[in-house]
Chain A
Amino acid sequence: MPCPAHYLPPVFGDPRVTSSSAYSSSTSYQDVAPTVILDRVSKVYPSGTIALQDVDLSVKQGEFLSLVGPSGCGKSTVLGLIAGLSKPTQGDLQWTMPEFRKDLAFVFQDASLLPWSNVEENVRLPLKLAGQSKKQTQQAVAEAIALVGLTGSEKSFPRQLSGGMKMRVSIARAIVTQPKVLLMDEPFGALDEITRNRLNEDLMNLWRQKRWTVVFVTHNIYEAVYLSTRVAVMGVNPGRIVDDLVIDAPYPRTEGFRQSPEFGQYRRHLATALAEGME
């Protein structure tokens, strides 16, 4: 069975921490039913590379779970397994609510848009593949584009967009189906810091509004602490989970949270866990 996530001890004497504990029930998903459970999951590639070994992980409904880890620790593999793009070599992957499985969306690292389609057609794609007509999808597409702040760019082609805008299109495409589970594979990894921060902000607001279950892969600890309700740290050789930490801070999180001592404490804790995972 997956081991429970742990909390950091409180920072005594810091008023922000005590005030935040009042909200802790809103960010803790300890008592919430899991959506998907990985039970001693291993993944070995045909080349013999052990991508994952005995990974226990449960994703709770509505939580924002980040997977952080160095390159090659198998975080993307975990995402692929959850998405059903590949099968575990050993162990079990269970969906407690199988209908959720059909309601998932994936955001890839490099936006992965159809270069021959404009913004609108790219966002429409999932609905089109589900057999819906252009008329039926008009409103959903317009809404998704508006949610990511791209209204006005509907007719632009991907090559005319900046990296950040492409990512927004990719997110719009993911959310146009009203998914329950959102899987994101280092979505902001290739963006500059300002764009990344802005997209982090927008993603967090969307998540709070829509109550998705998010699994977010990143190698950026700042991003993970800032966004997540929980962070799982992965280690290499073989890919495994070395730490699982609840980020017990209230939303909306602001710049103030980034500057707070508890943010620093979470960050240091995760950095130590990451370093241990490299060994």
Chain B
Amino acid sequence: MHDKSLTEKLLSPDVLAPFAVGVLFVVGRDLLVRITGLPPYLLPGPLLVIQTLIDNWSNLFSSLTVTFQITIVAFLAAAGSGLAIAVLFTINKWIERSLFPYAVVLQTTPLVAIAPLIIIWLKENTFGALVLCAWIAAFFPILSNTTLGLNSVDRNLTNLFTLYNASPWQRLIYLRLPSALPYFLGGLRISGGLALIGAVVAEFVAGTGGSKSGIAYQILIASYNLQIPRMFAALLLVTGLGIAIFAILSLISDALLKDWHESAVNPNQ
């Protein structure tokens, strides 16, 4: 196995192409602002946004940390509960039949509509309320994907385990969970972003009433005060966090699957 050098990786089309698009977009937007002379309260230029981000870094970053905490707790809870409930589903079909529709209901009910209720019910514990909202957003993809994975076991392998009198527990540990791993990891990658969105939406709904202010609160306040560059700077941070979450989850996924799953296998190997 031959590992490519870092320079080679950075110069690969996978990195260069999106980077070029990003640069084009930023330059294009800068030119647009300069040529049309749009005022910064309508569309701030990229340099102004960066400048604002640097000027307000400590303030914005501490808000981002708050949002990140909500996101990570909700995401871990979603991963744990999604996996556990998916396993319960495969242990007993009746549990799946009885509960799955409600999982769908949870997923399809607009979060913005139920977030106020949750925040009122848990008014003593705003952090908990925000986590619960983010969990609702992140939970379903993990449950749905993992359930699919647990049920996608190769039939010959199932027969093989029957032949060797495997216990249900052995079947789960040695066959079903490994089979479901790629699906579970796929669910995690979707849910990482959704947890962040859920956290931001919930913070929006909680509004200024929240005790600790997350990044959504900063966006909200900035928009009230027409501090549009500050709003963009906060947005930039949220986006960056979202990308970082996705990238980290992708790295974890690739590391876990690199030996055997097509999705993570290097084609040149």
Residues of A that sit less than 8 Å from B by CB: 80, 83-85, 104-106, 108, 110, 112, 114-116, 118, 125-126, 128-130, 157-159
Assess whether A85 is in contact with B161, with CB atoms less than 8 Å apart.
no
- B153 to A: closest C-beta gap in Å: 11
Q: Does B6 contact A (CB under 8 A)?
A: no
B260: chain A residues within 8 A (beta carbon) = 115-116, 157-159
A-B contact pairs, 29 of them (CB 8 A): A80-B159, A83-B163, A84-B163, A85-B163, A105-B163, A106-B159, A106-B160, A106-B163, A108-B159, A108-B160, A110-B156, A112-B157, A112-B160, A114-B157, A114-B174, A114-B178, A115-B260, A116-B178, A116-B260, A116-B261, A118-B259, A125-B164, A125-B174, A126-B164, A129-B161, A129-B164, A129-B165, A130-B165, A157-B259
- B127 to A: closest C-beta gap in Å: 38
Best-surrounded residue of B162, B170, B260, B261 (most CB of chain A within 10 A): B260
Q: Does B84 contact A (CB under 8 A)?
A: no
Q: B159 — nearest CB in chain A belongs to which residue?
A: A85
What is the bound-complex CA distance between A105 and B181, given in angstroms?
Answer: 28
What is the bound-complex CA distance between A128 and B166, given in angstroms?
Answer: 10
A126: chain B residues within 8 A (beta carbon) = 164
A115: chain B residues within 8 A (beta carbon) = 260-261
B161: chain A residues within 8 A (beta carbon) = 129
Q: Mark B226-269, 1 if CB is under 8 A from A, else 0.
A: 00000000000000000000000000000000011100010000
Assess whether B259 is in contact with A129, with CB atoms less than 8 Å apart.
no
If over half of B's interface residues share one DSSP class (helix, strand or loop), that class is named, otherwise mixed; here it is helix
- B255 to A: closest C-beta gap in Å: 13
A-B contact count (CB 8 A): 50
- A133 to B: closest C-beta gap in Å: 14
Q: B179 — nearest CB in chain A belongs to which residue?
A: A116
A157: chain B residues within 8 A (beta carbon) = 259-260
B178: chain A residues within 8 A (beta carbon) = 114, 116
- A1 to B: closest C-beta gap in Å: 28
Within 8 A of A (CB), among B148-184: 154, 156-157, 159-166, 170, 174-175, 178, 181
- Number of contact residues on B: which range applies? 20 to 34
What is the bound-complex CA distance between A157 and B258, given in angstroms?
Answer: 11
Known: A106-B163, A125-B164, A159-B260. 5 other contacts (CB 8 A): A85-B159, A114-B157, A116-B259, A116-B261, A129-B166
B170: chain A residues within 8 A (beta carbon) = 129
Q: B170 — nearest CB in chain A belongs to which residue?
A: A129
Best-surrounded residue of B160, B162, B259 (most CB of chain A within 10 A): B160
Assess whether A116 is in contact with B159, with CB atoms less than 8 Å apart.
no
Q: Mark B195-229, 1 if CB is under 8 A from A, else 0.
A: 00000000000000000000000000000000000
- B110 to A: closest C-beta gap in Å: 39
What is the bound-complex CA distance between A128 and B167, given in angstroms?
Answer: 12
Q: A159 — nearest CB in chain B belongs to which residue?
A: B260
Contact of A104 among B163, B174, B261 (CB under 8 A): B163
A128: chain B residues within 8 A (beta carbon) = 174
Assess whether B164 is in contact with A112, with CB atoms less than 8 Å apart.
no
Q: B155 — nearest CB in chain A belongs to which residue?
A: A112
What is the bound-complex CA distance between A157 and B161, given in angstroms?
Answer: 20
Within 8 A of A (CB), among B12-46: none
B163: chain A residues within 8 A (beta carbon) = 83-85, 104-106
What is the bound-complex CA distance between A106 and B160, given in angstroms?
Answer: 7
Best-surrounded residue of A110, A112, A128 (most CB of chain B within 10 A): A112
